[in-house]
Amino acid sequence: MAVSRAFFFTIFTRSFFCLLSSAFCLLAVPGCRKAAVERHAPGVEPVLSTGEPAYIIRTQPPKASEPWYRPYQAVLDKKPETDQELDQLVAEKKPGLKEPAQSLMTEVRRAVEAQRKENDRWSIIAMTLGRPRKGPDVQFTADVGLTKLFARRPVIAFNNVPLDLGIAKLARETGIQDSIPRNYNPRVYWTKNNVSAYEAIDEILKQHGYARRFTDTIYRVSLRLQDYKSKEEFVEAAVETMLARGKDLNAARPALVVTPVEKSEEPAESSAEEKAAE
């Protein structure tokens, strides 16, 4: 009987201390290793934005039947003398173009959502209506991406977690194959609320001197409104194209490639692409 009591006492003591240490870790006591990646929202709330508006310079009275895409263009009644005057006139017209642009993008969004399947891996991430360059062309752009990667989560937190394990956990949670060097593995202390896995990966890697490259996680659709005879034809084409790109994402093998950022003593001159991005 004495042996039996001693045995149960030992088991009870060990269990108690295990629970106690777990409780300390949950309270994020320094030294405890903890990773928390909460479940993502069921979908992504897409960002609908209007870029710089396309414009036309009208030199004659308007026709009885205007093109269907005219509500998305700034109509200037006089020819500006300078680029500065042009920008000012277009800027004055921009607020009046926002509502029709938002209405068109909302119509496309609803049509796409109505045809998405419950087991699709993708969501609409963003849509933009504007001009690709100065002139009359109206460009519609839409991004479709992996839901688990871009959907917001209540909290993502890492406390004293090795970098490779933290990134691997985020990749696993989002269904992405990751590749990260093992030679440098700092401890990660990072917490943020209402954040996506994409943002967490991006910020954590930058914080520790790594660059990242995602492949097959987001696809872009670009359509010019003037290429379609009617609004209905455009909406049908936009929906069909976005659904097709979403189908491609369903079959894709997304990946994350991580590489250390090389630090040079003297700043290298920017390439033509970098200068254009600036």
For residue range 99-151, list pLDDT tens digits in order: 999 999 999 999 999 999 999 999 999 999 999 998 999 999 999 999 999 99
Q: Each residue of 203-235: pLDDT tens digit?
A: 999 999 999 999 999 999 999 999 999 999 999
The answer to whether 173 and 157 have CB atoms below 8 angstroms apart is: no
Report the pLDDT averaged over residues 179-193: 88
Looking at residue 277, its pLDDT comes to 40
What pLDDT score was predicted for residue 183?
A: 75
pLDDT (mean) for 246-255: 97
- Whether the per-residue pLDDT at 273 is higher than 90: the answer is no
